[in-house]
Chains A and B, each alone.
Chain A
Amino acid sequence: MSNDILVYVEHLNGEVTDATFELIAVARSIAGQTGGSVDAAVIGSGAGGLAGSLGGADRILVGDTDDLGAFNPQGHASVFATVVSERNPAVTLVPYTSVGMDVGNHVAASCQVPLVSYCLSVDPGDGLSGTCQLYGGKVEADIEVDGDRAVFAMLAGAGSADDGRSGGAGAVEAIDASTSDLAVSFIGLSEPEGGDVDIAAEEILIAVGRGIESEDNIEEAQELADALGAALAASRPIIDQGWLPKTRQVGKSGLTVKPKVYLALGISGAPEHLEGMRDSATIIAVNSDPQAPIFGVAHYGWVGDLFDFIPEMNDRLDG
């Protein structure tokens, strides 16, 4: 039984993700309180080459293998589960992402360890506790864990990625990444076609959400974007409907953006969306619901009808 913190290293296309560095920052802060050490487990193709960027951890566990493709929900998860059961860390951190969801749930179930989902912060004080965000961000819940070990799936923004980044040499240890009889096998990765606007490179973004109500209304929003020299972006529901291409999606399953100005129209502000834009320099939100969570991260807000706001803006910009 150890006091240690184990971090799952999420990586794709040869790069460790920001989510992982946030986890390392969180792990370091826990370690500061408990005196444990921070281990980072990196599994899969090119794992060895990534160790160099993980200096924020005390020990880097490398499970290099080409058998699992870019990521294998079953393969990576079972290798990590073995690490968890052998090393028995007090706290295991996974990101609350597409990758972390497979890994975290599998580990918790196979190692019989509690899993805390939608987690904002971890407190290793008197027993393990933390704070989570539920019901689309509308509710914050404090939790306590029975026992002294748990897996925490951390939401974006739980830690500072810059704090977790560090070069330098942590001790590197090889681990067994062999798997057999996997029912899930990797076929290939697809990336979206380019040729469209790169919203991550834009200075001003006008983002539309469910409040835009119909595809027909996107045109007026585009007019506003054109008048401001901005690009049009959107939250997941708009993209799912096919009203704008995938390249315009901001949020957990889309892109993360940090423009000078992010104007959110009719977006309620669910955590999955906030994750993608919360670091924008100036966030202005328009929503008819005064309780919309977006107002919690916005710098400026107006409670009103975007169908009044957009034409009014377009009028003023025309003249």
Chain B
Amino acid sequence: MGTEISPKVDPSQVREHETYELDGVDISGHWNRMFEQRVIFDYDVSQLEKVMDTPGGESMGWCYQCSQCIAVCPVDHVGDYGPRKIYRKLQVGMDFFTSDDLWLCTTCANCLRVCPKEVNMLDIVPAVRKQAVLEGTVPAELQDVFEKTARYGNPLGKNAKRRHAWTKGLEVEVPLIADLDRKVDVLWWVSDYPSYHPRGMEASRSLARVLTKLGVDFAILGAEERHDGDSMLRAGEEGLFEMLADQNIETLNKYEFDVLLTTDPHAYNAFLHEYPERGGTYNTMHYARFLADRIADLDLSEDVLSTVTFHDPCYLGRQNGEYDAPRDLIEALPGANFVEMWRNKQNGYCCGGGGGGMWLDGLAAENQSMRLSEKRVLEAVETGADTLCVVCPYEVSRFEDAVKSTNNDGALAVRDISELLAEAMGLSTE
């Protein structure tokens, strides 16, 4: 988690010197105090220490208030947030464990990317949230989602048996791996929103058609698939994540497949970084990369006459280093014109769905001037694009809502790359 961003510094390997002579020159001083907090000692720093003493929260104390993080924090752009500000609030007595601030972080990792001290919010925030969850202090809207996910295996609270209802009536075959009773090349991990949300289901159907046209040997799990758990982990429900992961690993280990193909970057992230230590190691690919590797085989013959911009999902791009695959696919669309938003690739602006944010819109509304997704939609509109292309299932619904609430209905369409590819291949997108 986060190891792609910059090399990990190991404090135990660093030697700090009170005095030092270099090439005969005395350069003694406190220039190399890297790992102590530099506080003005008049403050009662017990709240800060409480965070630092929480396993996972240690790096909070390394902040030296340079503010690089604030410049890139997506929540600060529409509110008042960021690691430096959290640090300052802790100094002056905020109880992070019971504050609204605990729940506003989307774990987008842009702060970690730029932090010279590697204050790691991706470790800190889930660690503190874990304690809050154990105490039962969880925002009500998130509590509801935890309970639904535990009971139904998906955060939408939909009937688990209907997870593959999106395949009903589809003119291409989407087999259940349990029915096939053989090894498949590709086991497609569809995820919750692409299974249950109307726009997600459309994207799934488009992808099914594209994969079929490509001649890929694939199958899905259907009702055996449960929420991957990554977002629950970032939201502090470690027990729920473990329960889901163990169930999913037990299911996956029953079957034989070469590639575990994910639609959802959050699931991708979990399979890469969290599942192996629980006994689930799979050859995981995100569908954008899978398709980009096969561009030559995609029969892209129909014009897609759109000006398309692309939103880098945090969990595919910044956190896992994949920026090129979706761009290659968009550039391959005949007739399409690609434009970049000004915050792109490593500096992509979060849609607000990560870290449990998908289910904390109520709290966000109380603390922000607008939703992150609305801010991002305005940015997309600025490029002159008529289409915002996405490759993460949280985004279609978030951005479509934002298009409406920013009065851009009709000006900007939000489409999954599968839908654009299907259109370019002359396939249906319904």
User: Taking the complex as a whole, does A directly touch B, i.e. does some CB pair lie under 8 Å apart?
Assistant: yes
Tell me the A residues contacting B by CB distance below 8 Å. Answer: 214-216, 241, 305, 307, 311, 315
When chains A and B are docked, how far (Å) is the Cα of A241 from the Cα of B362? 14
Q: Which residues of A contact B404 (CB under 8 A)?
A: 311
CB pair B401–A214 under 8 Å, yes or no, is: no
Which residue on B lies nearest to A304, using beta carbons? B198
Kindly list chain B residues whose C-beta atoms are within 8 Å of the C-beta of A214: 141, 361-362
The 7 closest A-B pairs by CB, nearest first: A216-B362, A214-B362, A216-B365, A311-B404, A214-B141, A215-B362, A216-B361
Contact sample, A vs B, 13 pairs, CB 8 Å cutoff: A214-B141, A214-B361, A214-B362, A215-B362, A216-B361, A216-B362, A216-B365, A241-B140, A305-B198, A307-B401, A311-B404, A311-B405, A315-B409
Closest to B366 in A: A216
The docked-state distance in angstroms from the alpha carbon of A315 to that of B409 is 10
Give the Cβ gap from B67 to chain A, nearest Cβ, in Å.
31
Closest to B359 in A: A214
Shortest distance from the beta carbon of A163 to any chain B beta carbon, whole Å: 42
B202 CB to nearest A CB, Å: 14
Query: In the complex, A35 Cα to B405 Cα: how many Å?
Result: 65
- Kindly report which residue of chain A lies nearest to residue B140, judged by CB atoms: A241
**Residues on the A chain within 8 Å of B405, using CB:** 311
| Chain A: CB-nearest residue to B364 | A216
Residues of A within 8 A of B198 (CB): 305
Q: How far is the CB of B365 from chain A (nearest CB, A)?
A: 5
For the residues of A in contact with B, the DSSP-based class is helix
Which of the four size classes fits the interface of chain B? Answer: 10 to 19
| Measured CA separation A214–B362 after assembly (Å) | 7
- Which A residues lie within 8 Å of B141 (CB)? 214
Per-residue interface assignment for chain B, residues 375 to 398, with 1 indicating a CB less than 8 Å from any chain A CB and 0 otherwise:
000000000000000000000000
Chain A positions within 8 Å of B401 at CB level: 307
How far is A311 from B410 in the complex, measured between Cα atoms in Å? 14
- Give the A-B pair count, Cβ closer than 8 A: 13
Nearest A residue (CB) for B404: A311
Report the bound CA distance from A216 to B367 in whole Å.
12
Residue of B nearest to A213 (CB): B141
Q: How far is the CB of B250 from chain A (nearest CB, A)?
A: 32
Separation in Å of the B83 CB from the closest CB of chain A? 26
Q: Considering the chains assembled together, what is the distance between the CA atoms of A215 and B140 in angstroms?
A: 10
Residues 124-146 of B, flagged 1 when their CB comes within 8 A of A and 0 if not, give 00000000000000001100000
Query: A309 to chain B: closest CB distance in Å?
Result: 12
Give B201 Cβ to nearest chain A Cβ, in Å.
Answer: 13
Kindly list chain B residues whose C-beta atoms are within 8 Å of the C-beta of A307.
Answer: 401
Q: Please, which residue of chain B has its CB at the minimum distance from the CB of A305? A: B198
Chain B, residues 349-377, CB within 8 Å of chain A (1/0): the string is: 00000000000011001000000000000
Q: A214-B361, A215-B362, A307-B401 given. 9 additional CB < 8 A pairs?
A: A214-B141, A214-B362, A216-B361, A216-B365, A241-B140, A305-B198, A311-B404, A311-B405, A315-B409
CB neighbours of A315 from chain B (8 A): 409
Q: Which residues of A contact B361 (CB under 8 A)?
A: 214, 216
- What residue of chain A has the Cβ atom nearest to residue B363's Cβ? A216
Cα A311 to Cα B404 in complex, Å, equals 8
Question: How many angstroms between the C-alpha atoms of A215 and B409 in the bound complex?
Answer: 24
Q: What CA separation (Å) do A255 and B409 show in the bound complex? A: 38
- Looking at the assembled complex, report how far the CB atom of A214 sits from the nearest CB atom of chain B, in whole angstroms: 5
CA A307 to CA B409, docked complex, whole Å: 14
**Chain A proximity of B10: nearest CB distance (Å):** 43
For the complex, give the distance between the alpha carbons of A203 and B361 in Å: 33
- Interchain CA distance A305-B141 in the complex, whole Å: 19
| A215–B401 alpha-carbon span in the complex (Å) | 16
A216 to B362, CA, bound (A): 5
Q: In the complex, A305 Cα to B361 Cα: how many Å?
A: 18
Alpha-carbon gap, A216 to B359, bound state (A):
12
In whole angstroms, what is the CA distance A216 to B141 when docked? 10
In the assembled complex, the Cα of A275 lies from the Cα of B361 at a distance in Å of: 33
A307 vs B197: C-alpha distance when bound (angstroms): 13
Residues of A contacting B362 with CB < 8 Å? 214-216
Closest B residue to A214 by CB, please name it: B362
Closest B residue to A242 using CB positions: B140
Tell me the complex Cα distance, A255–B166, Å.
40
Counting chain B CB atoms within 10 Å of each CB, which of A216, A241, A305, A307 scores highest?
A: A216
Q: Which residue of B lies closest to A288 (CB)?
A: B198
When distances are taken between beta carbons in the complex, the residues of chain B under 8 Å from A241 are 140
Q: Could you tell me the distance in whole angstroms from the C-beta of A134 to the nearest C-beta in chain B?
A: 20
Chain A nearest CB from B184 CB (Å) reads 33
Q: Which B-chain residue is minimally distant from A311 (CB atoms)?
A: B404
CA distance A305 to B401 in the complex (A): 12
CB neighbours (8 Å) of B409 from chain A are: 315
Within 8 A of A (CB), among B40-88: none
Shortest CB distance B356–A (Å): 14
Smallest distance from the beta carbon of A125 to chain B beta carbons, Å? 40
**Most chain B CB atoms below 10 A, which of A214, A215, A305, A311:** A214
Cβ–Cβ < 8 Å partners of B140 in chain A: 241
* Interchain nearest-CB distance for A75 vs B (Å): 39
Once bound together, how far apart are the Cα atoms of A315 and B405, in whole Å? 10
When chains A and B are docked, how far (Å) is the Cα of A311 from the Cα of B409? 11
Tell me the minimal C-beta distance from B302 to chain A in angstroms.
28
Bound-state Cα–Cα, A11 to B157, Å: 41
Q: When chains A and B are docked, how far (Å) is the Cα of A315 from the Cα of B361?
A: 22
Q: Would you list which residues of chain B between 398 and 415 have a CB under 8 Å from chain A?
A: 401, 404-405, 409
Kindly state the separation between the CA atoms of A311 and B408 in the bound complex, as whole angstroms. 12
Roughly how many angstroms separate A241 CA and B141 CA in the complex, as a whole number? 11
- Whole-angstrom CA separation of A220 from B404 in the bound complex: 12
Write out, one digit per residue, whether chain B residues 237-264 have a CB within 8 A of any chain A CB (1) or not (0). 0000000000000000000000000000
Task: Tell me the residues in window 312-365 of chain B with beta carbons closer than 8 Å to chain A beta carbons.
Answer: 361-362, 365
